[in-house]
Structure 1
Amino acid sequence: MRAKLSRARWAPFLAAIGPGLIAAAADNDAGGITTYSLVGAQTGYSLLWALVIITISLAITQEMGARMGVVTGKGFGDLIRERFGARWAALAIIAMLIANLANTVAEFAGVASALLIFGISPLLGVPLAAILVALLVIRLDYIRVQNVFLLSAFLYLAYVVSGQVTHPNWSAALVGTFRPTFSLRTDFLMIFAGLVGTTITPWGQFFIQSYVVDKRLKTHELPYARTDVYVGAFFTDFVAFFIIIACAATIWTHGLHISDAADAAKALEPLAGRFASSLFAFGLINASMLGAAVLPLTSAYATCETFGWESGINKRWRDAPVFFGLFTFFLATSALVVLLPRMPLLQIMFLSQVLNTLVLPILFVFMLKLTNDRSVMGKYTNSRIFNTLAFLTTVAMIALSVLLVVLPLLHIST
């Protein structure tokens, strides 16, 4: 009897779980892991404090997206079009799609880099990865796709184990977590912007709202959806924390240099052993595959919702041809770009994260206006504390975007 009551108590949360955790886990994609690796390798423990602020901002912004989806039953692009017109909606979608294409290329670059560590040629591995992702989304229904995504999110714990076995300096990590350091040097701002842009993403705002709508959550399930979002926000930066300290404890401590996450995995082997190196590489493949599925899905969701075309994982191809066509186009194009010779994949991976930071302020302005509009949200508009935190996040994003553009022109690099 007690077991039945316990199951009944957990049932509503289990029914609502998914969007927040999956969106947050997919934030730690190939570009994200590359960025976290570079942060740890180049700055040691000194930027861990940023994860605390980023976690709060991620939780706030993702909750607003989930809440809009639950209350309105509409996607982000759909609401922008209804409230601000087709031109503004097209601007938001185009900005997101450009960032998404760069990010999806970064996912397959991550697949290629990680497979090379295990001796598998990208010419074989990348097409197989793209086909596997396509079959997963196109052939399976919503529940099965979500279960695969949740399993993938769970596998991120490989990075927690990898971080532990590198024997980090915990006192230095503690200081770095609670003592902020900042600089106006262009190189610092670029890596800081990458850290922000890889965790709080344009596609993440579209994805969580679309996924909530596709899941058909109701307003009485909103508290459980919020819990899902908050757990996801903590989880994504918990994993990021261990990626950074793994690279800080080894690569930064020994004064080595890396170019990407695959370099980090290879560098870990002589410093922390084959086990840590293999875990890091396995985590990169898992993260890249999840991102390669979620980002094209987001592009398809957002475009179809904005322009009124049928969308949804549970639909068949003949019922939602544009949705699945767009998904396949983004997937295939990104995989093909990675296979082209002499493509600057590292630059694409890192700059895709910086591009996220430049696009985010546009979307946050729309989000703030929508979540404070009673004709859209009814009684579920933002509270004062939410507005304050969201406003501060938006201002910080705008300031960071301006600095990224202006400081290089002023040649402030030292």
Structure 2
Amino acid sequence: MSIRDSAKLFGPAWIALLADADAASILGGLSTGEEYGYKLIWFVMLLSLPIFIIQEASGRLGAIAGKGIGELIREHYSTRISILSIFPIFLVDFFTYLSEYAGIAIGCYLIGVNPLFGLIVFFILHVLVVLTKNYEITEKYLVVISVILLLSALIMVGPKLSFTGQDVFYFSTSKNFLFFIAVNVGAVVTPPCMLVYQSSATAIKYSKIGIDNSKKTSWIGIETLLGAIITELIIVLSEMIGTSIGNIDPIDPAQLLYNLGSVHYIFGITLISAGFLTLIVVSLSSAWGLLE
């Protein structure tokens, strides 16, 4: 596949996967790093595989059928089942909104912005982006935000990127260890909204591009795998930061500000970009799921 074709198709899978590295997941990674250092990196990166498998199937549905998951459920089963399937998504989305706005508030505090003012600003931006009613334009915004998220995470951990003397593989059957395993699974396991987003966004975008289906499905696999690996890498980077902050409450912004040192600005930007990206993706997936 040519670079030009890849550029035309790029977007839906990357955005869906990067939105999985949300503010809650980053704070969860920070807490894991506090407790276990680098010892769970192997497990976090291993989670790329199930995420890839599930999301790739969602993208294929959108590319080949030209329809989102909600519409396909309605057509192949019934309207009742499609309605029932959307209720859990709305429930998950509600709590996702709460966690992402909490992450944005913490991020604002870390960069020196009043959290209440920051929440108002990002709520307005959230509404404005969603109300563009043009996926192509919205996608451009989301790609920019996802790049900011990735770059800020890399810059944040750059000076600390060292595996010297670190144990990167560990396993235990202790309750505490299994709890943190569950935390990481819960943080990155693909929520329904990401499946809806990738299938619907792919259907909308790919239907306007005159490229063979074989090339489309091939690219979906590549982009989804890349997104899955990068998503887990961002969580790993947050765990690396967690190793250096001591035993603190990761959701206490004052403690974070004091213990993060010089990287608190970058960590704040990471939280804000992660939270905002997920808010937009969740909003679009909810709207598509309901309309379909």
Q: Deviations over 1:87-115 (max 9, x none)?
A: 43333211121111101111111111111
In the TM superposition, residue 223 of structure 1 has moved relative to its aligned partner by: 1.2
What 5-or-longer segments of structure 2 have no aligned partner? none
Conserved? CA contact 2:26–2:234, under 8 Å: no
**Distance of 2:37 and 2:195 partners within structure 1:** 30
Look up the match of 1:361.
Answer: none
Q: Secondary structure at the residue paired with 1:129?
A: helix
Q: Cα 1:210–1:85, aligned 2, differ >3 Å: closer, same or farther?
A: same
Q: Given residue 101 of structure 2, which amino acid in structure 1 is its aligned partner?
A: F
In the TM superposition, residue 189 of structure 1 has moved relative to its aligned partner by: 3.7
Matched, 1:277 2:271: no
In the TM superposition, residue 267 of structure 1 has moved relative to its aligned partner by: 4.5
In the TM superposition, residue 261 of structure 1 has moved relative to its aligned partner by: 7.8
Q: Cα 1:157–1:127, aligned 2, differ >3 Å: closer, same or farther?
A: same
Matched, 1:18 2:7: no
- Describe how 1:2-401 pairs up with structure 2 within 5 A: 9-139=2-132, 141-155=134-148, 156-166=150-160, 168-172=162-166, 175-176=167-168, 179-183=169-173, 185=175, 187-202=176-191, 203-217=193-207, 219-220=213-214, 221-248=216-243, 250-251=244-245, 254=246, 256-260=247-251, 262=253, 265-269=256-260, 273-274=261-262, 276-305=263-292
Q: Cα 1:169–1:262, aligned 2, differ >3 Å: closer, same or farther?
A: farther
Q: Cα 1:134–1:170, aligned 2, differ >3 Å: closer, same or farther?
A: farther
Q: Given residue 154 of structure 1, which amino acid in structure 2 is its aligned partner?
A: V
In the TM superposition, residue 44 of structure 1 has moved relative to its aligned partner by: 1.6
Conserved? CA contact 1:20–1:233, under 8 Å: no
**Distance of 1:245 and 1:263 partners within structure 2:** 20
Q: Deviations over 1:162-209 (max 9, x none)?
A: 11223544442xx42xx3414351x44443223122222222111111
What 5-or-longer segments of structure 1 have no aligned partner? 1-7, 306-414
**Distance of 1:140 and 1:87 partners within structure 2:** 27
In the TM superposition, residue 60 of structure 1 has moved relative to its aligned partner by: 1.0
Higher gyration radius (CA): 1
Q: Secondary structure at the residue paired with 1:59?
A: helix
In the TM superposition, residue 137 of structure 1 has moved relative to its aligned partner by: 2.4
Q: Given residue 208 of structure 1, which amino acid in structure 2 is its aligned partner?
A: Q
Q: Cα 1:77–1:180, aligned 2, differ >3 Å: closer, same or farther?
A: farther
Q: Given residue 257 of structure 2, which amino acid in structure 1 is its aligned partner?
A: K
**Distance of 1:205 and 1:98 partners within structure 2:** 15
Conserved? CA contact 2:250–2:256, under 8 Å: no
TM-score (norm 1): 0.64
In the TM superposition, residue 264 of structure 1 has moved relative to its aligned partner by: 7.2
Conserved? CA contact 1:66–1:225, under 8 Å: yes
Q: Cα 1:263–1:189, aligned 2, differ >3 Å: closer, same or farther?
A: farther
Q: Given residue 139 of structure 2, which amino acid in structure 1 is its aligned partner?
A: Q
Conserved? CA contact 1:25–1:235, under 8 Å: yes
Look up the match of 1:391.
Answer: none
**Distance of 2:223 and 2:161 partners within structure 1:** 31
Q: Cα 1:141–1:40, aligned 2, differ >3 Å: closer, same or farther?
A: same
Q: Given residue 156 of structure 2, which amino acid in structure 1 is its aligned partner?
A: S
Q: Cα 1:170–1:215, aligned 2, differ >3 Å: closer, same or farther?
A: farther
Conserved? CA contact 1:41–1:258, under 8 Å: no
Q: Deviations over 1:127-162 (max 9, x none)?
A: 211111211221363222111111111112211221
- Aligned-residue RMSD, C-alpha: 2.2
Q: Secondary structure at the residue paired with 2:131?
A: helix
Q: Secondary structure at the residue paired with 2:39?
A: coil
**Distance of 2:94 and 2:238 partners within structure 1:** 25
Conserved? CA contact 2:107–2:267, under 8 Å: no
Q: Deviations over 1:299-332 (max 9, x none)?
A: 1111111xxxxxxxxxxxxxxxxxxxxxxxxxxx
% identical aligned pairs: 24
Conserved? CA contact 1:114–1:284, under 8 Å: yes
In the TM superposition, residue 284 of structure 1 has moved relative to its aligned partner by: 0.8
**Larger RCO: 1 or 2 (CA < 8 Å, sep 6+):** 2
Q: Secondary structure at the residue paired with 1:201?
A: coil
Conserved? CA contact 1:12–1:224, under 8 Å: no
In the TM superposition, residue 120 of structure 1 has moved relative to its aligned partner by: 2.4
Q: Secondary structure at the residue paired with 1:139?
A: coil
**Distance of 1:230 and 1:264 partners within structure 2:** 36
Q: Deviations over 1:228-268 (max 9, x none)?
A: 111111111122211111212x02xx4x2223284674254
Conserved? CA contact 1:111–1:285, under 8 Å: yes
**Distance of 2:290 and 2:111 partners within structure 1:** 37
